[in-house]
Structures are given as structure tokens and as C-alpha cells.
Structure 1
Amino acid sequence: MRIKNIIGGAACVALLSACNMDYHEYANYEKDYLAQSYDEVIGLVTNIYNELDYDFGQVYGGGMLASACDEAEYAYTSGDVCDFTNGSWSPSNPLSNTWTTSYRAIQECNQYLQEFQGLTFDELKQNDDYEARMFRYNNSFYEVRLLRAYFYFNLIRCYGAVPFFTEMVTVDNVNSLTRTPAQEVFSFIEEECAELATLLPEDYTDLGLLGISPAESGRLTSYAALALKARAALYAASPLFNESNDQELWHKAAQANKELIDACVAGDFKLGTYAALWGTTNWQNSEMIFMRRYVNSKDASGASSVLEEYNYPIGITGGGSGNCPSQNLVDAYEMQATGLGINEAGSGYDPENPYEGRDPRFSMTVVKNGDTGWPSYNTAPIQTFYGGTNGEPISGATPTGYYLKKYLDPAVDLRANSTVKSSRHTWITFRLGEFYLNYAEAVFRYLGSADATSAEFPMSAREAASVTRTRSDVNMPEFPTGMSNDAFWAKYQNERMVELAFEGHRFYDLRRWKEGDKLKSITEMKLTQNADGTITYTRNEVSRTWDDKMYFFPIPQTEIMKNPNLTQNEGW
């Protein structure tokens, strides 16, 4: 099996104790002690894996980045995630932990690469699994290099130009580093990934080494290296980082995403059903390239009910509401019969029955008024209308008229006498569907139209953007031929919003496209139940705070104060 989820829970020795870029060197005896133990050395790598990001609400007190863009609204205006949209975001309130977490992990990577190579673990040579252990150890240096590249990508995505170093940084010079231009760091990431794709295994379970399976599932593969290269190339070509619209950057992005798609097709990756993208076994899905398991200190398997507690509807025992899908997102789901948007002539949309005949991904992502069996132990229909069991004016009730379904496990029962208290949740880091969309965007920008092809790029943007629509449980019409560039771009953005909803992309997509004005407001749907039981639907526009400085995050003020050479992002 080619599975890529992270196996967490192993106790590890931390390399750094600080939560900023300050570096604390090992005393020699500590390093020597660690090097004597195979388990301790491999534990250092596990520790770095555990720094990988996921967005189940753990950073913003239950809020997801979906609620910081136009996908959703957080039900509690005092929530940390609301600071992204209410004007409270600042260098002294930088919100994200990306800076501190990423640099801590990069320091760990650099030290591991510099100080822990060349070990032989002689005491293990008589063990039957010695060859497998040494493979894992030697391969770990490729994994750590790819992890380092991934953390640098996360930094650029948030901050643009950032301090860049690939060796251990001492306490004497860590706070004198300047910022390296984003394109230079992107180039490093792409070159590093290209090399690592030739060094990392495609599949750890097929190596024929005793002890490799199943314990080696969840580690970075050659496909993950190609995926990071492809995503980085797309960002590098996007308007936020490619102000001159350099066509060669779009060319490289199309090449990188095609390379990954071709490799995945050859490796028997395939798109299955949309509903199988999440759930307790989603890490086994044939579409998954790399995943990050939710880490729960109380359960080594990662089983938890936190996501359900945050997002089950108010009015359900144990439900706390939370990230409520916006009407903006709901409007993005087209009509299944026609493939047209609800505002397009001839779509078949009925405003009196607004949810009938929509893209099936809508019902798999969003809980709406009248839904039954959500979650499984709830025997009453969901009522999001004013005065309803799950509606306003109850504190914490959805302000948008909807609740979140995607990623949640309806089998988790939050009642006191329940025997199903938790579920395994695994965050999607890379999956094949994203890269068909990435390729569509890049080849469209490079070749100049949705239908254009070339000897190098025989699959058109239109064809690639249609792939995610043809799943057996989605069955949406493909993109039509002959679309104007503006029409294709609008439909492509819509498809990307729908397909990747709540997977952490939209927040960054609007930034890399420099379309932040779309974050100036959000639409809610207010439902009123009439005397005859019918529902009146009223749209409500809510203003949000947006300033172009928000294309990049503010560097934490504490870092600016420590390092006189570290300039703040413009406007902050």
C-alpha cells in the first residue's frame, strides 16, 4: 500500500526549546547520547514530521482558515480566527504560528542533516531487521530535506521573502539574517524536490526489506517531492509572486504539475469518490499523495472528537457550532443537470427550492435546513431558520444558515453514554485532484486558452479542470468547449472553490491571485419559517476588513525587535 499519512504519537527528544528563531545548541554529551540510540535518532525525524501543519481548528481556537476567507463564517465573533477579518490582525497579534513553527522545524532539519549522518548502530548488526533499519535511517536524510523544503514553502506562502539558511544557525548570527527574495527560495524548493524525487522511494511497502511494512506507511515519497515541486511552481508563477507575468514561470508550473500527474497515473493513483476523501480510512484512498494525521496526545492513533465538538450544530448534544459554510460557497455549487451556475440563464435553478438539483458535492460538504440524520444520533431534522432548534437567536447558532459536514465523522456520538466518542481524522496535504486543477491553471495561463494544446501539453486546461467533476458520486458535466478566457477563468475558480472546500486552499488562492477584494464581504442566508411551513430565504451581506497589506502576513513584532536586519512586510 502506498499510503502517506503521518503516524504520530512517538515520544521524541526535541532539538530546540525556543518557540522563535533563537537557537539553542546541544551540549556534546547530549548529541553523543542521542547518536548511540537508533530509536532516539529516528525519533528526531518523527519530531520534525510532527511539526507539519493541518487546519482542524487547533491554531485558532476552533476556527479554520475557511472562516478567514469567503468559504465560511465562524459562529463566535470573539474567536481568534475572526481577527483575520475584523481588523485586529497586526504584528503584535500576528495570529499564525507559521513563522515560529516553521523555523523551529528548519533548525531541527539542519541540525539533523549536519550532525547525525554516518552512524552505523553496530549493536543492531545481528538483528534480522538491520537492513531495514539502516534503510530507514539513510532514507531519513532525504525525508528531512523534503520536510525542510516544505516548511520553507509555508513561510513564503505567508510572508513572501524570508530569511533562508540550509546550515545550522548559531545564536550569534540568527538575529542578523536578512530576507531572501521569494523567487530564490522557490527555486531552491523546486530544485531540491526534483533531486529528492529521484532519491525517495515511490512506495515503502514494496522494497522487500524485513520490517518495512506496515510501520513505514506515512512517510514522504517521491510523489510527495513532485507534489511540493508542482505546488511551489504554481505559486511562483501566480500574480502575487510573478508581478511581471513571466510566461516561463507558467511554463515551469505546467511542466511540474504534468510531471506529477504522469507519475501518479503510472503509479496507479486515481480519483475515486468525493465522499471517500475524508473519514477514518481516507488515508487508504488511491488519490492521496501525502496526508497528515491529527495528533492527539491522549490517543496515539490520533482518534479525537475535537472536530465534531467544534462543528456539530448547536442544539445537538455536544455540538458547539463553529465554522459555518457561507452563502458564497453554497452559490458556487452549480446545477448538476446543466453544469451552469445558479445565476446563468437556463441553469434550471429555482430560488424557491434553492438546494434541489445542485452539484452533489454540496450535500457532502454542507449541512442545510431540513437535513436528517446529522449527525447519526440526531433523530430530528436540522432547523437553521430563525427560532429553529439549531438556528438563531441561540448563542453560537450558525450566522450563515449552514453547518459544516465535510471532514466530520457523523458516527462520533457526543452524548454522555456514547461508546463512539472519537474518530481518526487525517488532513489532506497533497491529493491528485488538486494537481489536475493546478495543471489546468498553469497550462491555461501558458498556452492562452482553455482548449489549447501542444505537443508538450496534450491535455488542455478544459480537460484537466473537468477531471474532478467526473467522479462517480459527482457526475457533473465537463467544462464546455469554446469558452472565452474570462468565462473559463471564472468557472475554473468556482470549480477549485467547490472541489477543495475546507482543505485550506481558498485562503491562499485569493491571495496568490491578488483578488483580495473578494474578502471585503461575505454573504449569509437568513431563513424564516412561515405559518404554512414554507421557508423564506433572505440574503444578508456582512462587511469584512480587507487591506492589500494582508496579501502577506505580518512578521511577528517580537522577531522585528530582535533582528535589526529583518524588515516588516509593507503596510504592517
Structure 2
Amino acid sequence: MKLRKIVYGMLCMGALASCSDQMNYHEYNNYDEDFVKLNFSNVGGLITTIYLDLDTDFGNYSGAILGSATDESQYAYTGNSIETFYNGSWSPTNAQSGTWSTCYSGISNCNLFLDKYVGLTFPELEQNADYKPQMFRYNNYQYEVRFLRAYFYFNLVRQYGDVPFIDHFLSADESNTLSRTPAKDIFDYIISECDDIKDLIIEDYANLPADVVLPSESPETGRVNKATVLALKARAALYAASPLFNTDNNPELWHRAATANKELLDYCVNERGMKLVSDYASLWDKNNYKNATDELIFGRRANRESSTMESYNYPVGIEGGNGGNCPTQNLVDAYETTDGYDVRLVNGAWIADGSRVFDKAKPYDNRDPRLRMTICVNEETGWPTWNEGTIYTYQGGANGQPLNGGTPTGYYLKKYCQGDIDLRSNSTNKSAYHTWITYRLGEFYLNYAEAVFRYLGSADATDAEFTMSARQAASMTREREGVGMPAFPLNMSNDAFWEAYKKERMVELAFEGHRFWDVRRWKEADKYFVNIEGLQISKTGDNTAYSYSTVVNTRQWDDKMYLFPIPQSERMKNPNLSQNPGW
């Protein structure tokens, strides 16, 4: 079984996993350096600690996900900390600064390893039977760590812009004297670092030489490999070229982004034989390590078996369901009919101009199949899979308002929920693994499409270097087997293609943590993040049909929110930290 692209729980050997919950920078700092260097396990434990700082979002804001600060979803309960992003309470003293502390802790551990624990030979262990396999892994750690350091810098720069840069281990006093390095330089560093290590790091942990495989060991497939490095480079290049950071619209930055994403696609498709999976929902299924490895480049399996995502997001009205992150009408409107037409609700009436398959009495039938894989709609059956009843989200329905936690939008979330997790009191199937998708092939077809479109100037343009057009690349996720949406048509105007591209990206990557950052890097938040629409569904008088009306939830937006505020607590420690504009 080739489990070559998924991150599993603790990422290292079982001996390390057993103690990784206790491992952090401070414990290593308190240990004598000679103790850490005693054996492979002590050094490897530090690597495990760094991996544990990788992103996930299965409800980071007391159940709310970052998508509920966007037009993807609305959290069903008021007073949640996710509201900080749009209710006017966001400030340097309420800075939502988890990324700052997590990433700089990870960077500190990376620098600690690279400064103190590279080049060891462990001579006292040379006679051990596993010496060669362990040294093989150890010698690759430095490239994994260099990737992880670049990864943390990417998360910082997309969030704060200019940030302090440290490439060696510093004392706390030294670190509190640093000023902010320009975002351009941080992006350049990330891309350069990825170029430096891409041909040094192990290509595939599931296909190691026989003489470096530990006895009775399953492949350590959750580690960073060459494809992961190329993915970080490609994403960083796209962000660097985007309007938030590329204020002069420098075409060379778009060219670099197109080249980097093409490099990733060429490597994954032509050399690794990867492809878009036919079962879109398998990307986040509990068995994705078996069923979606053709598309998944890298993901992080969060915690051990759990049902947190399900208990937050299963519909209210079924046992154990709490409503949670409810998809918006904005998102639902992005899903076209199966023959490629927009669906809109106008003055209470569903409209799909030109569609041959749309029935306004059944507004969720004959829609892009990804809609039903991602979102639970009114009159849904078989969700969760053990539920024998029908989900009714209309006003007064079994799963609608005014129940506490009843959906404010008319919809519930499916994506990332494992539908066979049964939260009923008599169930024995109450948990499963959940893998957060860090990088997958579908994203990079879309990244390439955006970069080539901006560089060559039209959706159909190609040249000797970029032989696949933006239109062709953006159609890949639509045309995948199992989805079967029509390709974007030839000769679209630039404005029409750009709007269609953004909609496709919203649909394909829904709830994977992209929307919050995409709209910011495009500098289009005033268009998308102010009016958040939900659907109010009511039974008609004869009780056989429904009436529909749009409910608009207006949120605050200020352009200073394109970047996060530098936490005031950090500025008090370090007077050299300037604040982002407007904060």
C-alpha cells in the first residue's frame, strides 16, 4: 500500500510518539545539549515537536473555523471569538495572535536543530543493527527542518506582511531587538530555500532502498518530501505575485508564479503519476490515506481518533449535533447547474437562465455534484450516514430555527465531517482520524491558471513555455471524473473568466482554509466579506412546498484588515516592531 503523501499522527517512530505530547522547546532548552545528542530518539523528538506545529482547522475558534470569518459560512452561535474578525473588536490588544506565537516557536526549534544538531555521527551506536537506517533518516532531518522553517515563514508573511526574520538560534534578549523584514524578502527566501533543498530531500518515503528500511517498520509517509517542497514554493510564488503584495503588478512575479506551479504539476503528474481523484469526497474521508493518495500531496492527520468536527457541525436536532459552521447562500450560489449555468434567488424565485436541467421546485437537484458532497441542504437524507430521518432546515423544521444552534443560513456543513461517526449514546463508532489537507493537486491547477492568466493576459493564451492555457487548467477540477462539470468555454472575456475562476476556486477549495487568504491577497474583501447571505425557508400554506427569502448579515470591513495587527504584547517586548497601517 503506497501511503506516500499523507501526514499521520506523530510522524516519527512509535517510541517518539509516546512522549511527543510533552515535548516542546522549553523542555529541550532545559536539557543539557549533550543529553539531546545521546541518541537518534532524543534528536528525532525535536523534529516531531516541530511537525506538531503544522496547520489544521477543525474548529480552532471554540468550534468555529476560519471560514466563518468569510463568505463561506456563518457560525450558528453568537458571541464566538470568530466574530472578532468582523465585529469591530479586533485590535493589537485582541490580535488573534496564535499564528505569531506558534510559528516563531517552530522557527526557534528549527534554528535550534540546524545550529546544534546537524552533522552528528553517533559513533557509540555504530554497532547497532539499525545504525544505517537511522543515520539515513537523521541526515534527511536537516532538509525537512529547512522546509518547516520556510513553511512557518510563509504562514507569517501571508498574515502580517513584513515580519522579523531569524535564520539562526537566538536568545530571547536578541530576538526582542529585531525589526521587520520586507515581505518581498521573506517570499524570496522561501522560494530560494525550497529551490536549495528540493533535490536533496527524500523523494518518496514509501519507496526507500531496502537497506535503509527499519525492521518491521511501516513507511514514514507523513514526512516532507520533494513534492511538498515544490508545493510550498508554488503557493508562496502565487501569493507574492498577488495584488496585496505585488502592488506594482510586476509581470515577472506572475511569471515566477506560473513557472513554480508548472514545475509542481510537471513533477507530480509526469514523474509521480499523480492525478485528480474521481471521488471528490474521498479527499477528506477517513480512508484518504488509501483512496485519495493520487491527489493528496501532503496533509496533517490531526490528533488521534476524534469526533470534534462532527459534534461541532452535525445538524441540530440529531443526537450529538450542534449546528456549528453553516455554509452561506453566497457559497451555495457558486455551485452551477450541471450544464454550467448560475443559479440565483431573485425576489424569492430561483432562476437559472439557460439551464436545461434546473427545476426551481427542487433547487439543489442537477447542481454541481460537489454541492451535495460539501453541504447538507433542506430535505437531505442519509446525513449523517446512520441517520434514518430527513434533515429539515426550514423555519420550525426538525433541524431548523428556532432550535438553539439551528442553522442561520438554511444549510449545514458536510466537508471534513466523517458521516459514519455515530454520536448516539448507544453507538460504538464515535471517532475517526481526520486529515487536514495542506497541499493537493487540485489547488495547483487553479494556482497555475491564475498565474498564467495574469502573465499571458487572457484565458486562452499559451506560449512555448506555458502550453496549457489558464482556461484549460481551471477546467481540470470541474471536469474531473465523478464531477463532470463542463469546461469553461473558449473566448471568455478577461472579466468573465476572472469571475468564473474565483467561483471555481471557492467551490473546489471550500473549507480547506483558502478563502480567508485568497480574498485578502486579491484585495477584494469589500466585495465579498461585507454582506453574508443566508436562506430563510418556510413551508407554504398547503404544507407541500417551500418559499424562500434571503437574509443578509452585514459585517464590518476596513482595509487595514488585509493584514493582521502586530500583537501589542510583542511590541511591548520589542520596541523595534512597527505596527501595520491602520492598527
**What's the counterpart of residue 299 of structure 1?**
none
Is residue 236 from structure 1 mapped to residue 237 from structure 2 by the alignment? no
**What's the counterpart of residue 37 of structure 2?**
35
Distance change (3 Å), C-alpha of 1:463 and 1:341: farther
* RMSD value, Cα: 1.5
CA distance in 2, matches of 1:476, 1:369: 23
For residue 473 of structure 1, report the CA deviation from its aligned partner. 1.3
**What's the counterpart of residue 196 of structure 2?**
195
Tell me the SS of whatever aligns to 2:384: coil
**What's the counterpart of residue 528 of structure 1?**
538
Is residue 548 from structure 1 mapped to residue 559 from structure 2 by the alignment? yes
**What's the counterpart of residue 276 of structure 1?**
282
CA distance in 2, matches of 1:563, 1:3: 40
- Asked if the contact 1:161/1:182 (under 8 Å) is kept, the reply is yes
**Which deviates more, 236-245 or 4-13?**
4-13
CA distance in 1, matches of 2:24, 2:287: 33
Is residue 412 from structure 1 mapped to residue 415 from structure 2 by the alignment? no
For residue 436 of structure 1, report the CA deviation from its aligned partner. 0.3
Residue segments in structure 1 that go unaligned for 5+ positions in a row = 18-23, 296-301
**What's the counterpart of residue 329 of structure 2?**
327
CA distance in 2, matches of 1:123, 1:529: 77
Tell me the SS of whatever aligns to 2:439: strand
Is residue 457 from structure 1 mapped to residue 466 from structure 2 by the alignment? yes
**Which deviates more, 554-563 or 447-456?**
554-563
- Asked if the contact 2:377/2:412 (under 8 Å) is kept, the reply is yes
Q: TM-score, normalised by structure 2?
A: 0.93
Residue of 14, 21, 29 corresponding to 1:26? 29
For residue 118 of structure 1, report the CA deviation from its aligned partner. 2.0
**Which deviates more, 81-90 or 483-492?**
81-90
- Asked if the contact 1:6/1:49 (under 8 Å) is kept, the reply is no
**What's the counterpart of residue 20 of structure 1?**
none
Is residue 289 from structure 1 mapped to residue 297 from structure 2 by the alignment? yes
For residue 169 of structure 1, report the CA deviation from its aligned partner. 1.4
- Asked if the contact 1:161/1:180 (under 8 Å) is kept, the reply is yes
CA distance in 2, matches of 1:26, 1:501: 40
CA distance in 1, matches of 2:83, 2:314: 19
Q: How does 1:477-492 map to 2 (within 5 A)?
A: 477-492=486-501
**Which deviates more, 347-356 or 227-236?**
347-356
* Cα shift readout 1:353-374 (whole Å, capped 9, x = no counterpart): 2212110000000000101111
Distance change (3 Å), C-alpha of 1:447 and 1:239: same
- Asked if the contact 2:239/2:521 (under 8 Å) is kept, the reply is yes
- Asked if the contact 2:320/2:424 (under 8 Å) is kept, the reply is yes
- Asked if the contact 2:51/2:148 (under 8 Å) is kept, the reply is yes
Is residue 186 from structure 1 mapped to residue 180 from structure 2 by the alignment? no
CA distance in 2, matches of 1:165, 1:412: 44
**Which deviates more, 339-348 or 406-415?**
339-348
Tell me the SS of whatever aligns to 2:551: strand
CA distance in 2, matches of 1:366, 1:452: 35
**What's the counterpart of residue 307 of structure 1?**
309
* Cα shift readout 1:121-158 (whole Å, capped 9, x = no counterpart): 23432333221110111100100000000000000011
Is residue 154 from structure 1 mapped to residue 155 from structure 2 by the alignment? yes
CA distance in 1, matches of 2:492, 2:406: 41
- Asked if the contact 1:339/1:478 (under 8 Å) is kept, the reply is no
Q: TM-score, normalised by structure 1?
A: 0.95
**Which deviates more, 337-346 or 526-535?**
337-346
- Asked if the contact 1:523/1:540 (under 8 Å) is kept, the reply is yes
CA distance in 1, matches of 2:110, 2:220: 20
* Cα shift readout 1:495-544 (whole Å, capped 9, x = no counterpart): 00000000000110000000011111100000001233211111111100
Residue segments in structure 2 that go unaligned for 5+ positions in a row = 11-16, 345-350
Tell me the SS of whatever aligns to 1:172: helix
* Cα shift readout 1:145-177 (whole Å, capped 9, x = no counterpart): 000000000000110000001011112221111
**What's the counterpart of residue 90 of structure 1?**
91
- Asked if the contact 1:283/1:291 (under 8 Å) is kept, the reply is no
For residue 269 of structure 1, report the CA deviation from its aligned partner. 1.0
For residue 26 of structure 1, report the CA deviation from its aligned partner. 3.1
For residue 344 of structure 1, report the CA deviation from its aligned partner. 6.2
**What's the counterpart of residue 298 of structure 1?**
none
Tell me the SS of whatever aligns to 1:106: helix
Tell me the SS of whatever aligns to 1:51: coil
Q: State the AA in 2 paired with 1:327.
A: Q
For residue 376 of structure 1, report the CA deviation from its aligned partner. 2.1
For residue 120 of structure 1, report the CA deviation from its aligned partner. 1.8
Distance change (3 Å), C-alpha of 1:420 and 1:25: closer
